[in-house]
Structure 1
Amino acid sequence: MTFHPTALSRRLFTAAVLCSAALAAGAQDKYPSKSITVVVPQAAGGANDAIARVLAQKLTEQLGQSVIVDNRPGAGGTLATAATARARNDGYTLMLTADSAHVIGPALYKNPGFDPVKDFTPVAPVATAGYVLVAHPSFPANTVAEMVALAKASPGKYSIASAGNGTLNHLIGEMLQKAAGIQLQHIPYKGSAAAATDVVGGQVP
């Protein structure tokens, strides 16, 4: 069963490399002169992590210095984002994040620990991806219409997994419920990989 997002939702995942401030390479003889850390505010195994690891490998080859991926999941990406904002602005701490982490966190939390505009300098867009709604083969619905009918007949009976509270796929699930007039039980995980694993295993339909 697949759910094709609306035009608004198609812009969901735009990964971008962000550094904690403008690179201070001009003050150094050679950049980089030591290893670089790429902070990923999502758990290992998800799409953002996979992209970061490919990027880190290619940067290591091109720059001649180790580029290390540092996964820091939690609080919808705000913990890692705040930590990156506090890092030295010397160009050795970068962050690969979904744009939603920069947009949703400040909208949900009174003090997320960072200013998405003042504390970061965008370096490059890296990737875009869409979202789909999937179900375990044992789920008694093969289309979105059938799923909606089941959910309407039994409000709160069926659960839906997400990458965590305040993440974009959590909010997409809420948008789906609002648009369809249904009630699902939200099960938050610490990343999309863990959520997908439990859907594949049948723990979440």
Structure 2
Amino acid sequence: MFSPCGSGRVAVVLATLAAAGLLSGCGGADGPASRPEAIAFAMSATYPSALPVQYRKTEVIDPTGETPGTIVIDTSQRYLYLVQPDGKALRYGVGVGKEGFGWTGEANVQNKQEWPDWVPPPEMLERRPDLPLRMSGGPENPLGARAMYLWKDGKDTLFRIHGTNEPLTIGKAMSSGCIRMINFDVEDLYERVPLGARVVVR
């Protein structure tokens, strides 16, 4: 069952933002990172040395049993799999929702954005009134280099698969429910995944 990053919507405003692909409840610790090393990493094309090897992209025997092209997210192990047509899968390390913000279910990639804008939903702004109402895409943006917007039954779930400017949160449960990836990896996944791709979160 889906449990959005911030439950509920202000109907007209949020529906408009969601349709434009601008709404997201995902951020660092409910907000953008400001550490210089995080910003520097957002512009790099490699893995930080401190990131454990198991969370770096690798090809594995497919453990999911799903059809090729499906994205499967194992929230307990902190892995995202992109199922390949040869019985294998590409495995990426991810960060997942912290306690109370996690979710499971199925959805589809409805929209894709490069260096997306970030619009915190009202629930997040209530928790963090110091956050901006909107942040333009760029290296300081908590959605990172790419975002894939997940919809179910014609409605925005408010969940995303997105990059992060906090690379050392990969492998941890720290987000507001969205699935975060190293920018280097989310750019790779973004190029491989078409609109309409099925996403299974377990």
**TM bucket, shorter chain:** under 0.3
What TM-score do the two structures reach when normalised by structure 1?
0.25
Decide which structure has greater strand share.
2
Decide which structure has greater helix share.
1
Q: Which has the larger radius of gyration?
A: 1
